[in-house]
């Protein structure tokens, strides 16, 4: 694993857990973790359960005793590390968004296709696909229970930078993060809605805004928490969006709206998706992730209404291995499910999803949103990742 902050910790927990929960054709050994700071990575290895640690990612991806490379670094190093790891014949799992630019994502997708021909697997870590209620939502759509989809309504709201004194962490710097709320959380709802509907976003019209343009420089930071540098008078420029809102068309004719913001005061990590079809509707809300609301318009009129499905039955995706019905799961389980699917795919020789090509499709939407917003919300087509 490369990176040991928020996502590194989330992935480590999943790697530690996956063989204890699921019966898999391979056993995970958490061989080595890599980070820039020798003391911090040593502490992280101990805390997160890795056998060894290093500050040299190139040596790590070329080690003979490593089979899988898990990339949990900021977006500016995804492409370089993934390309090196794939060239060294390692299976790669890479955090979202896949890259900071479409060009990088294209290069990674091409390398992944070449590697796949030699049996080397790759996957992008859009973990919310693996929330059981989301997987159930996709099943209902795929079974035709919603009929023809007319509307997709997706929001991902956070508030961790509302305070203008919150420091300029790497997520607010374009050269490190690629974009702001758009790529960090908007990417999740783009991927999730394309996954659930099986449809591709074909065009967008967008607005973006950076509400706070200068911020104090950061001192220590970890995950989403950060302190201002001791010299609180020094500031830097925010180079990413704080919020992005866009309308879109899907390739089956549905209309969609998306909102991603870090300025929704009071909303901590509020991802919500509603889909309306000719035969029914579904609603997923991450703050109630064990539930799915389903309106079945084919039921007798007198019995119609949004039903709350508690997604904790053994028949529900991923749930049989966990607890008895009604015993709920949380955020971190989505990562365990992600590693389960990845390990199974690698061990049985199939390509896992979301593939790098799926993630490139998301990157193309991010790019179109940015370009549309720069041109006064001009309608901007999104090309298919694979011609």
User: Which residue of 184, 241, 259, 338 would you call a contact of ligand SOE, by CB under 6 A?
Assistant: 184
Asked whether the beta carbons of 261 and 181 are under 8 A apart, the reply is yes
Minimum CB separation of residue 166 from ligand SOE in Å reads 13
Whole-number minimum distance, CB 256 to ligand SOE, in Å? 20
Nearer to ligand SOE, 88 or 185 (CB): 185
Q: Please, which residue, 185 or 190, has the CB nearer to ligand SOE? A: 185
Length, in residues, of the chain: 387
Using CB atoms, what's the residue nearest to ligand SOE? 184
Query: x/- contact string, 265-284, with ligand SOE (CB under 6 A)?
Result: ----x---------------
Please, which residue, 8 or 35, has the CB nearer to ligand SOE?
8
> Is the CB of 84 or the CB of 182 nearer to ligand SOE?
182
Q: Which is nearer to ligand SOE, 75 or 216 (CB)?
A: 75
**At what angle are helices 356-374 and 102-117 packed, to 10 degrees?**
170
List 6, 170, 211, 263, residue binding ligand SOE (CB under 6 A): 6
Query: The tokens 């343009």 sit on which residue?
Result: 213
Sign of the CA dihedral with 159 first, then 164, 168, and 174 last: positive
Q: What is the dihedral of CA 167, 170, 173, 175, to 10 degrees?
A: 160
Rounded to a whole number of angstroms, the CA Rg of the chain reads 21
CA nearest to 382, candidates 257, 191, 259, 249: 249
User: What is the smallest separation between the CB atom of 143 and ligand SOE, expressed in angstroms?
Assistant: 28
**Minimal distance, residue 269 CB to ligand SOE, in Å:** 6
Residue 29: burial class (beta carbons within 10 Å; 0-12, 13-18, 19+): middle
Question: Closest approach of Cβ 145 to ligand SOE, in Å?
Answer: 28
> Least distance (Å) from ligand SOE to the CB of residue 158?
6
Residues 65-94 interacting with ligand SOE (rule: CB under 6 A): none
CB 72 within 8 A of CB 41: no
Minimum CB distance to ligand SOE smaller for 109 or for 158: 158
Restricting to residues 133-172, name those near ligand SOE by CB under 6 A. Answer: 158
Name 297's Cβ contacts closer than 8 Å, sequence gap at least 6. 278, 279, 280, 281, 304
* Smallest separation (angstroms) from ligand SOE to the CB of 127: 7
Rule CB under 6 A: say whether 224 interacts with ligand SOE: yes
Q: How many CA atoms lie within 13 A of 311 on its CB side?
A: 26
Of residues 266 and 376, the one with the C-beta less far from ligand SOE: 266
Which residue reads 């009929």 in tokens? 147
Residue among 18, 105, 152, 185 that touches ligand SOE (CB under 6 A): 185
Output the smallest distance, CB 185 to ligand SOE, in A: 5
Pick from 384, 359, 330: which is nearest to 71 by CA?
Answer: 359
- Give just the sign of the alpha carbon dihedral 163, 168, 171, 175: positive
Identify the bridge partners of residue 221 per DSSP, sorted by sequence position. 226
CB of 192 to ligand SOE, least distance (A): 11
Binding mask 283-322 toward ligand SOE (x if CB under 6 A, else -) reads ----------------------------------------
Cα-based angle 367, 372, 378 (whole degrees, multiple of 5)? 150
d(CA 263, CA 220): 22
Angle at 5 between CA 32 and CA 60, to 5 degrees: 25
Angle (nearest 5°) at CA 223 between 106 and 179: 35
Contacts with ligand SOE by CB under 6 A: the residue count is 6
Complex with ligand SOE: residue 90 or 337, whichever CB lies closer: 337
Pick between residue 257 and residue 269 the one whose CB is nearest to ligand SOE.
269
Restricting to residues 21-40, name those near ligand SOE by CB under 6 A: none
List interacting residues with ligand SOE (CB under 6 A): 6, 158, 184-185, 224, 269
């Amino acid at each position: 694993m490369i990176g040991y902050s928020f996502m590194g910790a989330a992935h480590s927990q999943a790697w530690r857990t996956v063989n204890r929960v699921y019966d898999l054709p391979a056993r995970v050994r958490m061989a080595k973790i890599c980070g820039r700071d020798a003391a911090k990575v040593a502490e992280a290895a101990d805390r997160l359960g890795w056998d060894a640690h290093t500050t040299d990612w190139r040596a790590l991806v070329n080690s003979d005793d490593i089979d899988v490379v898990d990339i949990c670094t900021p977006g500016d190093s995804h492409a370089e590390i993934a390309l090196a790891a794939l060239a060294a014949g390692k299976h790669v799992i890479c955090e979202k968004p896949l890259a900071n630019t479409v060009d990088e994502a294209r290069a990674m997708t091409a390398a992944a296709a070449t590697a796949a021909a030699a049996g080397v697997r790759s996957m992008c870590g859009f973990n919310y696909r693996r929330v059981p209620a989301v997987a159930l939502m996709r099943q209902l759509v795929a079974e035709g229970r919603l009929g023809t989809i007319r509307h997709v309504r997706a929001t991902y709201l956070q508030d961790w930078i509302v305070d203008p004194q919150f420091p300029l962490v790497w997520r607010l710097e374009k050269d490190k993060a690629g974009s702001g709320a758009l790529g960090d959380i908007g990417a999740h709802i783009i991927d999730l809605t394309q996954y659930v509907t099986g449809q591709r976003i074909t065009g967008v019209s967008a607005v973006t805004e950076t509400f706070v343009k200068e911020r104090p420089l950061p001192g220590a930071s970890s995950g989403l928490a950060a302190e201002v540098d001791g010299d609180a008078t020094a500031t830097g420029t925010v180079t990413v969006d704080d919020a992005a809102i866009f309308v879109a068309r899907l390739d089956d004719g549905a209309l969609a709206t998306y909102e991603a913001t870090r300025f929704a005061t009071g909303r901590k990590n509020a991802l919500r998706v509603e889909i309306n079809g000719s035969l029914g509707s579904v609603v997923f809300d991450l703050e109630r992730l064990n539930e799915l609301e389903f309106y079945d318009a084919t039921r007798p009129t007198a019995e119609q209404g949004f039903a709350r499905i508690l997604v904790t039955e053994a028949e529900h995706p991923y749930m049989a291995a966990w607890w008895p019905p009604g015993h709920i799961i949380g955020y971190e389980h989505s990562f365990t499910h992600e590693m389960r699917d990845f390990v199974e795919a690698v061990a049985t020789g199939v390509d896992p999803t979301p593939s790098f090509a799926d993630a490139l499709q998301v990157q193309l939407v991010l790019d179109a949103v940015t370009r549309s917003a720069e041109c006064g919300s001009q309608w901007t087509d999104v090309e298919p990742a694979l011609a």
